[in-house]
Amino acid sequence: MLLCQPALEMADALWGSQHPNTAQICVNVAQVYIGVGNMEKAEQYCKQAIGIYQAIDQIMQLPSPLCTLAIVCISQERDFEAEAYLKQAQAIVEEKFGSEDKQMLAILTGFINLYRLMKRDEEAEMLVKRIQSIENWR
């Protein structure tokens, strides 16, 4: 993880702390931390990215860090928080891009995985059918 901090420092120096590229690097760093199992750091960088996107009114960029944050919550058995983050991402994608947007596939897959963990199999199956209809529509 030694490379993560210099990448963020370079982004800060190059673009500033409130730039969309800096936020995207935060999301990327969060995903690296998820990969090595450091959920505390992953959550920190997801929230930093979310804060940047909100501060610079880049709402359309929020689904990615929200979904990444949901993954962190799922790994820590914080299922209701994960569901809330996925719902936020879903609402943004539906409003800004439409319910058939390709981003929706990742969000719905997140819901399916979460609902199966929560033993909410009927809801998961409905979402599987929704994904199939989106894929058939494309």
Q: d(Cα 65, Cα 83) in Å, to the nearest integer? A: 14
E-strand stretches of the chain: none
Domains parsed from the chain with CATH numbers: 4-137 (1.25.40.10)
Compute CA distances 112 → 27, 84, 86, whole Å.
22, 14, 11
Reported as type and span, the H/E element at residue 43 is: helix 39-55
Q: Per-residue confidence of the chain (138 residues) as pLDDT tens digits?
A: 555 677 777 777 878 788 899 999 999 999 999 999 999 999 999 999 999 999 999 999 999 999 999 999 999 999 999 999 999 999 999 999 998 888 999 999 999 999 999 999 999 999 999 998 887 765
Give the pLDDT confidence score for residue 133 in this predicted structure.
85
Give the pLDDT confidence score for residue 10 in this predicted structure.
78
Give the pLDDT confidence score for residue 107 in this predicted structure.
96
Full-model pTM: 0.89
Q: Which of 47, 52, 66 is nearest to 11 (CA)?
A: 52
